Amino acid sequence: MAAIAQEKSSELDPVTITATINPVASSKTGRNLFVLKGEDIAKLPVHSLDEVLRYIPGFEVQARGPMGAQSDLVLRGGTFQQVLVVIDGLRINDPNTGHFNSYIPVVPAEIERIEVLKGASSAIYGSDAVGGVVHIITKTFAYTGVPSKSFSGGVTGGAYGLLNANASGYYSNEKLAVSAGAQTNNADGQAQRGIDGYFHLHTVSAAASYKLNNQWKIAYRSSFDSRKFAAQNFYTSFASDTAAEKVTTWWQQLALSYHKNNNHFTWQTGYKHVNDHYGYNPSSIANNSKSKLLQSLAVYEHSFNNDLSLVTGAQFQQKGISSNDRGNHTVYQAAGFASLNAALNKHFTVSPGVRLDWDEASGYELVPQLNASYKQGSFQVRGSAGKTIRNADFTERYNNYNKTLVTSGRIGNPDLSAERSFSYEAGADYFGKNFRVSTTLFQRRHSDLIDWSTTAYADMPRKENLSATGTYALARNISKLITSGWETDVQWIYTMNNQRSFTANAGFIWLNSETNAGFASFYTNSHAKFMVNGSLRYSTPLFAISVNGLYKTREAQAAANIKGQITTEYFVASVKADVFVIKNKLSVYAEADNVFNRSYADLLGAQMPGRWLMGGIRFTY
């Protein structure tokens, strides 16, 4: 029983590397964090990483299509470009558009854990870490020399031509760790307005880590991700939009680390190449864009003692695009940062940090942050304040800029300023024997926030390739936006006689955004006004039941020409039932996604599927 209690304690207050880079208990970061273990992903009624994130407490995922076709990630009411996604310490946000940020090129079975850090994080991570950070930590890169081996896989079939499959393996000894995996999700799809919502989504990834000696370790990852899907009204509300899109991603990552006594140094480099082929309809000329992200990150950590550690780092990025729609562009970025983690006594911890960021397009930015926490017994209070920044992506700067004639659509703006904001938060936590409750009040004050707004031809700053009769949306800076909110997260873990277990996670978030822009924009108010989401699972040696649920309210929208509608509220749930044929090795399951057959959309025109029935088999060794 002592071992079980210790395991619960570590799950409710896990060690994290996302908030301060150096490993510390989440209660010592001054931040609201949620950590999901990789082994729990396969137990949920989900089929892709964006669906996993959708049910993390307080995390809003605005889905355009199912099972990984495309989703926008939203934390604390930010826009979809304001969440930074990181794999083993390196950022993967695409320089072309934030719509691709949910394309995470890692097979779920390779994941050790997912850490979601809510709130301002630009002092360490730079641009995009406004609403928060999603950090994917893989088994191979987290390898510490403990021997282990596993192999798992599964097949799912269902309605609308659904066929999903996955397989992965992991092996490690005292010096070497290797992993490899593949996942494919396919369906003819349910009927939409103009076409069926088909998708063919494939990910293959492999990694290896090797301890050169007691101090040095090297790790390498290579991944390929291909997604072909119906994209009708993903980006427009025109009736002529029957789009199809294919996005392919290559991801390479190399890490070299040194650890001796109180010194820890890591150098990483990564290269991401994305090819996007988008056809608005069969008669239009397709957009072809190739984007690249080359980066290098060096981090040095020194622990003076158990109560004081210093992290310093330097980062370099080269972002580029070659496109028949957006043109050819390259932007360089560099930064240096430092963060101190100090336990002033056994109760009080502070973590000040600062970053000096330089972007070729936006210039220099000094980004400070201060986190603090005080814990007494099972109770904790915490607070954080910091500046955040975000630089415009290539779509916001150059969309439709390179075409001969644009009769309607979104028009980029090369003169955009970088977004700046300042965030404040204060929270409290209770760590019980079987549960944890965290509640946070926060506010984010933006200046120069970037969004799209319907703009008359006469007011367009550039008219060279535009039609005077066209309908356009221009990327613009909004002078001020204030987002205020309250969130509460609940985690419950209960084990009965080490045979039956019950786990539950739930999040409640209320949000309000106010602007003085004087014009309507697309994404600043697309977030939920109130949302409840979460999951629960009951497991015995013979069977298990898992349920995901999501309820949210938001502003209503309608587009009569495409019969599109955003309702003021919706509730959607999925259920999965497992029967264990061979304990801990073989199971069969049945699943119902959108079990109540709700008609809903997160974004206007991008209709989500109704009830979807499926079943499958899963094995683990």
Q: CATH number, domain at 578?
A: 2.40.170.20
Rounded distance, CA 123 to CA 106, Å?
A: 26
**What is the pTM assigned to this prediction?**
0.95
Residue % of the chain over a pLDDT of 90? 87
374 has a pLDDT exceeding 60: yes
E strand map for 399-465 = 406-411, 419-431, 435-455
pLDDT digits (tens, 9 = 90+) for 555-607: 999 999 998 899 999 999 999 999 999 988 899 999 999 999 999 999 998 99
Distance CA 515, CA 521 (A): 10
Confidence of residue 1 (pLDDT cuts 50, 70, 90): very low
Cβ-based neighbours of 371, under 8 Å, separated by 6 or more: 19, 20, 29, 30, 31, 350, 351, 352, 353, 382, 383, 384, 386
Residues 170, 174, 175, 181, Cα dihedral to 10°: 0
**pLDDT reported for residue 24:** 87
Using the Cα atoms of residue 53, residue 55, residue 56 and residue 60 in order, give the sign of their dihedral.
positive
Annotate 358-400 with three-state secondary structure: EECCCEEEEEEEEEEEEEECCEEEEEEEEEEEECCCHHHHHCC
Q: What is the pLDDT of residue 499?
A: 84
Which helix (H) or strand (E) segment holds residue 166: the answer is strand 162-172
Residue 573: domain span = 2-620
CB count in 10 Å sphere of residue 97: 22
3-state SS of 169-185 is EEEECCCEEEEEEEEEE
Tens of pLDDT, residues 307-365: 999 999 999 999 999 999 999 999 999 999 999 999 999 999 999 999 999 999 999 99
Q: Above 60 in pLDDT, residue 4?
A: no
Q: Which position has the token pair 């028009």?
A: 411
Q: What's the number of domains the chain is made of?
A: 1
Whether residue 123 is predicted with pLDDT greater than 70 in this model: the reply is: yes
Does the pLDDT at position 175 exceed 50? yes
Count other Cβ atoms within 10 Å, centred on residue 347: 12
Q: What is the DSSP string of 235-262?
A: S---TT---EEEEEEEEEEEEEEEEETT
Which pLDDT band holds residue 461 (cuts at 50, 70, 90)? very high
Tokens 């999700």 correspond to 185
